[in-house]
Amino acid sequence: MYTMTISVRPLRRTCCSRPSIIGRGLFSSSSRQLAPNGTVAGSNESKPLDTGSRALNASFDEGQISRLARKHLHNLNLADLVKHGRPPLSEEALLQSANFTLSLLPIRLAHRLQALRNLPYIVVSNPNIRTIYNNYQRSLETLLPWEERGGINTLGEEVEFTEVLAQLVRTHADTIPILARGFLECRRYVSPQDVTAFLDAHLRARIGTRLVAEQHIALHYSSQPHFDPAASPVPCPEEPSFVGVIDTALKPVDILDHCGGAVAEICELRYGVRPEWVVNGSPDTTFAYVPMHLHYILTELLKNAFRATVENNMSREPIEVTIAPALPLDDGRGLRLKPPSVSRGVFRSDAIQPLDDNAPGVTIRIRDRGGGIAPEVQPNIWSYSYTTFFDQDDSLPGGAGGSGGGSTGDFALNIISSASNGRSSIAGLGYGLPLSRAYAEYFGGGIDVQSLHGWGTDVYLRLNGVGRLE
């Protein structure tokens, strides 16, 4: 899943940014501003924003975006996603899941459209950012008829709706690399801080939107009468512990071993050295979480630790990983899931036992002897516009990136953008720390970094599950 080309540089970590909430006042006075009439203040561009950002479909009811964007954005949690029960779901539960999904997605899409509209016109008119705007508008247009008809009432409608969701997931698969390319091309008009704020808000919104859609798709393919997990366009394991894309008995050590093996193999191919890691603490800990999210987080954190260890000639010192379960809930409450509606292969009800020993969360510490983070670098580790990794050969196709004269902010965006074209490095694949923290914080967790310069770094990953499941 993670294809990486490792580039050797004697520097520390690729790093990135702190979460922010985006609004109309996002861009500072140093950037282009939207005047009250929708034009760009202080520029020669006098076209209203409507001319560019609404060009996809002139017949689209623009009032719908404003109406939906004014609605409250539901704070999604893992309990929301498993509340319909274990698959295979009954017809009633499957329709409830579909309607719950429908109640969330149009509002979430409208909020992102509104955020894109708040960008300066000269930014929105960029072809890449316009593509993202059009994709979001098209997706909203597709979902609005379902909302207007009053919901999903039959299995036939649910099948059609699931096909729409699958198309929506495919459409937005490359959203972030395209946005990054667009912001790179507009770097003269927006500051790195503003790009950080927008991307961070967009990443967090995208996590929830994609998860809602993928959860229903997985439930659809693991339920009656559509039971066909192999045909699902999203992960749909047949293990009885799974509820859609959520594993209610996830063992972090299993994900850790998979990610560690993949990153170590790449290190060996590139550096000729295969770092080792040891696991201590409570490796048998289980909790309810999204495996795809944990896979991404651990891959990014291990990439940082492995690279620092190798480049500081400390590969004989193993990476130390400690897994510690959160204390059990003492309020006597547990989330009771509805049992499967029917027996179907591995989904037979007698294979599912109450998970009374399920931890409400877990903390994972990753400790390396890679020399730590330099004091001048430490303040920047959560900034999307900063990277400690540099390679003069890294630039966007077509010359969008510089090969020696660009700032670190420009180069960081070069890395993000080039990754979408299959060109990536161990230091610059994806978003590293900021996206990992966005995933962790989405369900109430977090990432903390403690560095002892000249010695090593401890990274603490805290993840919240849904507590005890029955």
Residue 15 · residue 377 · CB < 8 Å = yes
Lowest mean pLDDT among 27-31, 102-106, 184-188: 27-31
Q: Render pLDDT for 292-340 as a digit per residue (tens, 0 to 9).
A: 999 999 999 999 999 999 989 888 899 999 999 988 765 544 555 555 5
Residue extents of the structural domains in the chain: 33-239, 246-464
Is the model's pLDDT at 408 over the cut of 50?
Answer: no
CATH superfamily of 246-464: Histidine kinase-like ATPase, C-terminal domain (3.30.565.10)
Q: Render pLDDT for 334-368 as a digit per residue (tens, 0 to 9).
A: 555 555 544 444 333 333 333 445 678 999 999 99
What pLDDT band is residue 79 in, cutting at 50, 70 and 90? confident
Among candidates 249, 251, 232, 231, which has minimal Cα distance to 240?
Answer: 249
Q: Supply the pTM of this predicted model.
A: 0.74
Supply the mean pLDDT for the chain: 75
Average pLDDT of span 463-470:
68
Is the model's pLDDT at 145 over the cut of 50?
Answer: yes
Q: Which CATH architecture has domain 33-239?
A: Up-down Bundle (1.20)
Asked if the domains at 33-239 and 246-464 fall in one CATH topology, the answer is: no
Question: What value does the CA radius of gyration of the chain take, rounded to a whole number of Å?
Answer: 23
